Amino acid sequence: MKRILYIVLICLSARYVSVHAQEVTAPSIFSAKISVPGAIYGLPVMRLGDHTGLLLSFDDLTTDARYYRYKLQHCNRDWTPSDLSDIEYLEGINDQLIEEYAFSNQTHVDYVHYEVRFPGNGLKPKVSGNYLITVYDENTDEVVLVRKFMVVDKKVFASAKLQRPSRVSQMRTHQALELTVNHKDFRISNPLQDVSVTILQNGIWERSIRNIQPRNVFGDVIEFDWRGKIVFPGGMDFRSLDLRNLGYRSFGISDITEYKDGYVVVKEIEQSRAGRSYFLERDQNGSFMIDNERNFSGSSSTTSEYVEVDFRLKSNLDMGNERVYVAGGFTNYAADPRFELTYNSENEIYEGTLLIKQGRYDYLYAVHHGGTDQGLDFNVLEGNSNETENFYLLLTYYRPFGSRYDQLISADIANLGG
């Protein structure tokens, strides 16, 4: 193995915070995911009162288990803390020890796998809305992980369809949405004032349009037909990486080598797709799954290897001070130094070595513009097409006059494009 990359990473002192605030990933934490238990690919959304709930899982690349605890925080639609006290939005004690953990089994890289299931241990949400889950070290109070999730109390139905963008320049590259909310079975006295919608493309907060206000109300239907306002870059289908079996080279991999201290996977040199015509590629819209096809005993969560993967992107465009990253659900779409590429001017290649757990991954190449608080820019290296198939998560928030928090009254999905 060329280097014990993870040891260097653990020595880093900074935490990585999403541009959409609050979310944190400590340097030793990898493969963090929150979704419905048992779902291969899923969203961090649960129904109020649903006993299945959600599962948060993550790995700590250390040899010893730590006493991690977790708390939940209710938030408004803009992710600022709501005015509710713990007892108003939670049943149970809002400070729980994480008791589910297991050590890696016969892997080159040691790690401890943790899981948090909620509702659990008597702790469950009492109201709908946005939530943060915070994981911290009991001994040091260090916050090592913060993730967003939503609790929905289904009252209305939101739907969306594509319409032609109002700008001619966007017709071949963007997707404009026409949005409606049907509240036939839920009385809303003042929908123009009390209802708003947030839309996420492929479940990515980095690609969201928030706090969309209604334009018209016709009977039971609330219209959000702001022509030219609800417009998303079409993007391109995600690229894929399959590490489930290190015994052979899957698509896009040029070499796999096992050393005494681990595996090194070298990807084929890839090309920028900016300005290129759309070509359909089957993807999972940015999700990832941990899996190990050569796992003969135990769980893939603890028997899967962490692998050094060499990424290489051919580009004659030197971004200068702007930084280039590999981004996907497994990186939380953050400008995380652990997933950054550097420019090799001699070969005109962005290159870097990433530590990734065995599984199947979707990813994109993204740019972070230095000196700004904006999120990752997927357009520069990947391009856009109005033909790209994307799913849109439609979050409908309701806050009647006098209420102290934003209720989440629907979380619907519209698959559009293609």
| CATH number of the domain encompassing residue 223 | 2.60.40
Report the candidate in 375, 317, 337 with the shortest Cα–Cα distance to residue 13: 337
pLDDT of 407 reads 98
Same domain? 33 vs 98:
yes
End-of-domain residue from the set 123, 152, 181: 152
C-alpha distances in Å from residue 181, one per residue of 154, 196, 218, 224, 388: 12, 10, 11, 8, 25
Same domain? 253 vs 374:
yes
254 contacts 267 by C-beta, under 8 angstroms: yes
Could you read off the pLDDT of 91-146 as tens digits, one per residue?
A: 999 999 999 999 999 999 999 999 999 998 899 999 999 999 999 999 999 999 99
Same domain? 338 vs 248:
yes
Report the candidate in 157, 159, 158, 130 with the shortest Cα–Cα distance to residue 146: 130
Q: How does pLDDT run along the chain (418 residues), one tens digit per residue?
A: 654 444 434 343 333 333 345 799 999 999 999 999 988 778 999 999 999 999 999 999 999 999 999 999 999 999 999 999 999 999 999 999 999 999 999 999 999 999 999 998 899 999 999 999 999 999 999 999 999 999 999 999 999 999 999 999 999 999 999 999 999 999 999 999 999 999 999 999 989 999 999 999 999 999 997 777 899 999 999 999 999 999 989 999 999 999 999 999 999 999 999 988 998 888 999 999 999 988 766 799 999 999 999 999 998 877 778 899 999 999 999 999 999 999 999 999 999 999 999 999 999 999 998 765 678 999 999 999 999 999 999 999 999 999 999 999 999 999 999 7
Same domain? 82 vs 181:
no
End-of-domain residue from the set 126, 152, 178: 152
Q: d(Cα 33, Cα 30) in Å, to the nearest integer?
A: 9
19 lies in which domain range? 5-152
pLDDT of 13 reads 33
- What is the identity of the amino acid at 15? R
Q: What is the pTM of this model?
A: 0.92
pLDDT of 5 reads 47
Q: d(Cα 114, Cα 133) in Å, to the nearest integer?
A: 14
Same domain? 162 vs 142:
no
Give the total number of structural domains in the chain.
3
Tally Cβ neighbours within 10 Å of residue 253. 18
End-of-domain residue from the set 92, 121, 152: 152
For 14-35, the DSSP string reads --EE-TTSS-EE-TTEEEEEEE
Same domain? 289 vs 403:
no
Q: d(Cα 208, Cα 211) in Å, to the nearest integer?
A: 10
Report the candidate in 418, 416, 406, 417 with the shortest Cα–Cα distance to residue 159: 416
Same domain? 69 vs 112:
yes
212 contacts 198 by C-beta, under 8 angstroms: yes
pLDDT of 21 reads 53
Cα 372 from chain centre: 21
Same domain? 170 vs 283:
no
pLDDT of 18 reads 36
pLDDT of 128 reads 98
Same domain? 40 vs 119:
yes
Same domain? 245 vs 365:
yes
Same domain? 92 vs 195:
no
pLDDT of 103 reads 97
Same domain? 194 vs 114:
no
